Amino acid sequence: MLPALFESPRLLADVGATYARFALEVGAGLFENAATLRCADHDDFHATVQAYLAALPASASAGRIKNAAVAIATPVSGDRVRITNYPWQFSIEEMRQSLHLDNLLVVNDFTALAMALPSLLPSQRRQVGAGAAIPRSVIGLIGAGSGLGVSGLIPANDGWVALGTEGGHTSFSPCDERELAILQYAWRHYTHVSFERLVSGPGIELIYRALCERDGRAESNLSAPDITQRALAASDPLCAEVIEVFCGMLGTAAANLAVTQGAFGGIYIGGGIVPRLGTYFDRSIFRQRFEDKGRFADYLQGIPTFVITADNATLLGVSTILAAQLRGLDSAQSSALLSQISRVRINLSPAEQRVADYVLAHPRSTLNDPIALISRAAEVSQPTVIRFCRSLGCEGLSDFKLRLASGLTSTMPITHTQVTGEDSMLELGVKVLGNTASAVLQVRDHLNRESIDKAVQWISTAQRVEFYAVGHYSVVADDAQFKFLSMGVSSVAYTVPRLQMLAANLVRPDVVVVVISSSGRVKELLEVVEKAQVRGATVIAITASQSPLARRADLALIVDHVEDVATQVPMISRILHMLMIDILVVGVSMRRGVKSLPALGIEASAVLEESRSTQGTTSRSSPGVSAAGALAHLTSHSL
């Protein structure tokens, strides 16, 4: 019996450094319209998704895609995603909005692959060597491709918890003289040689070059696929030796993972390389090396190793994670308010029951839609919607939405809520403040402690601090000047381009120049940076990541928030830049031992106390507190 089809298809993607694989999931485990696109053929991830969607047949794209999940070859923490081995980056929330999705889930690709392991059929895996899995035990996962992915599964209640790790970057350990020679070759090119440096596609090429040097053989420009093909065809003994070394190194890495995790459920091998080796891998020294652990040989002999042969295993795993997220969102148990609605529904009027049924079925839409859309969808009048809210003890729809948002899981896309013309003044205020608070928390989650401490150190020892900004961000420079002057720090703000160039020509090496720009692409400010650096001044930029200004400055404090300044006055981004100035003010104050911060209206003792309790570490530059350590207090009070 086929599973029921979804109300709308779900977009799934598996993105690596070379290829992006897509499919539409129309029902549980039912994938259609699979396609593989080369990353190099597209400018960014958004363009790649759009290219896939544009190529779909009309029948597949007839229904709006509401939910999507992406498995991506990089650690995923927070909203900003940067692919490790490819120059793509994006904001999850901005991507969700630009693709008009209700939900966009982004997870590490090996975390997704790990979640597929329990549901693999015997025909979708191939055992290599002996051993037997113990049910409901830890499962390990390792796989070589453009990099070396490592993950695992831990049994929890009736399900599994996937581990998000970067185990591929553990230090490589040679097991014989040949591998030692390869390591010594690699050391001449890299200060740190991880397992990923060698047990990967680029690693195969590195091993080949090292063995060429050992044999006194001129290096040929062979790629990993070329080396692998020659090894499988037995047409080049050196290439065959390279793949033999690769398999042995993978055996060592897999054994390390097995003893580290206690993976009695088995070690699974994924990635793009090993499945293509076929039975060649089974005959290799992989399993022999896996069991070669001295006193722990018996321990490892009992752990089975499997090669994943399923074509769509990663998509299956990311689909499993997405399904769990959506079940949590749509379940009445995911919110105390939704549970309350379920309990009291029987006591509501028939019209209010229709509102209750709509809210229980569509909590996400209810959260974002104006009252007109809610009443229309529930087929009731707008006053009925208000009566429904008051029946639950809420003052009105806005109060109801706040309680609904606070109870729903954090996977809901409530980071940025669209303001509409039908919003009441209260709803408008709630949305504006909510969006601002969310943006502040996103910046907080991506703060770089080392950069902040360094900026504070430079400013604290400078003879003068000069702030440069133009246009809408001039007020940030003026605000910075006022706050630092209030602490007795010699400072000045320049917001007129002509004056900026004149001032930059007069700076000295003991001056710190702070350049403030949301885009980081303003020509006049880039010229200021060049002039100031020629004069020997130190330049700190408060700007967007990967911008020309961030690259040219001596130090960049990153504030990533996009606002269209061509159509509106920037609001949130200015607040974020001002908060970054406040962070510097607090840091300099703590370094100087100031007892109060009159410019901010904050008692320094409170910052100091909270910094000690939340950070647990101290800065070398100030007894008992660092600049980054004061952020918890500052950001909490700024909200």
pLDDT digits (tens, 9 = 90+) for 454-495: 999 999 999 999 999 998 899 999 999 999 998 889 999 999
The answer on pLDDT for 150 being more than 50 is yes
The answer on pLDDT for 428 being more than 70 is no
The residues of the chain that CATH labels 3.40.367.20 are 121-309
Q: How far is CA 292 from CA 133, 301, 306, 393, 419, in A?
A: 19, 9, 18, 67, 63
pLDDT digits (tens, 9 = 90+) for 232-266: 999 999 999 999 999 999 999 999 999 999 999 99
Q: Name the CATH topology of 447-560+568-638.
A: Rossmann fold (3.40.50)
3-class secondary-structure state, position 505:
coil
**Residues 282-309: what's their mean pLDDT?**
94
The residues of the chain that CATH labels 1.10.10.10 are 331-428
Least confident of 351-355, 384-388, 462-466, 546-550: 546-550
Structure tokens at 112: 């997704």
The answer on pLDDT for 223 being more than 80 is yes
**Residues 624-637: what's their mean pLDDT?**
46
The residues of the chain that CATH labels 3.30.420.40 are 5-109
Band (594; pLDDT cuts 50, 70, 90): low
Separation between Cα atoms, residue 515 and residue 497, nearest integer Å:
12
Separation between Cα atoms, residue 309 and residue 281, nearest integer Å:
13
Question: For residues 631 and 40, which has the higher predicted lDDT (pLDDT)?
Answer: 40
Domain 5-109 classification at class level: alpha beta
Separation between Cα atoms, residue 315 and residue 21, nearest integer Å:
9
Q: Name the CATH topology of 331-428.
A: Arc Repressor Mutant, subunit A (1.10.10)
Domain 121-309 classification at class level: alpha beta
Q: Helices marked H in 408-496 — which ranges? A: 425-445, 449-461, 474-486
DSSP, res 220: P
Separation between Cα atoms, residue 619 and residue 83, nearest integer Å:
31
Separation between Cα atoms, residue 24 and residue 319, nearest integer Å:
10
| pLDDT value of residue 567 | 44
Distance of CA 230 to the CA centre of its chain: 38
The answer on pLDDT for 416 being more than 80 is no
The answer on pLDDT for 28 being more than 80 is yes
pLDDT digits (tens, 9 = 90+) for 489-542: 999 999 999 999 999 999 999 999 999 998 888 999 999 999 999 999 999 999
Q: φ, ψ for residue 610 (rounded to 5)?
A: -70, -35
> Over pLDDT 70: what percentage of the chain?
82
The residues pairing with 539 across neighbouring beta strands, listed in sequence order, are 513
Answer for the pair 529, 508: CB distance below 8 angstroms, yes or no: no
Torsion of CA 201, 204, 205, 207, to 10 degrees: 150
